Amino acid sequence: MPCFRRAVLMFAMIAAAPVCAANAATEKHASAPEWLARCWLSEDGATREQWTAAPGGYLFGFSVTLHDGAPVFFEQLRIEPGPDGLVYQAYPRGHGPTAFTESAASETAITFENAAHDYPQKITYALSGERLTATISLIDGGKAQSWRYSPCA
């Protein structure tokens, strides 16, 4: 009987391992960074980026850039839980999505990457006090462009 119990126990451990691994992957970053969820206005006032938290660890957002009061660029955005961390889905000018996978995160910054995409290949959001900096670049940091935001009034 002890051999039977040991076999049952080993079977249960082996059967449960994939479930535990799957749960660990989704718990790694079970939800998007809450500090991003608000309205952000660029320093020059031309770009507004709005993020809203949703159940299930999602953030939904949009960005619009105005010139002389007319939109010259818009983008729909989504950050969602994925099997290997968070995934940033971008729909520039309504086209897409283009997926960027979380590559680094801290309490006040998060980076997403997609080396197969033409540009950008890397997207980073970093919070410093009440200021947000969004940076896009190539995977090696080349051709970097940054926007500095403050909370909308």
At 14-73, the pLDDT tens digits run 333 333 333 333 334 567 899 999 999 999 999 999 999 999 999 999 999 999 999 999
Q: What is the CATH number of the domain that holds 71?
A: 2.40.128.20
The total domain count for the chain is 2
Are 151 and 40 in contact by the 8 Å Cβ rule? The answer is yes
In a shared domain, residues 89 and 58? yes
How many Å apart are CA 46 and CA 69, to the nearest integer? 9
Peptide bond into 55 cis (omega under 30): no
Cα angle for residues 104, 73, 48 (degrees, 5° grid): 65
In a shared domain, residues 48 and 85? yes
Range of the domain at 145: 34-151
For the entire predicted model, the pTM comes to 0.80
In a shared domain, residues 128 and 145? yes
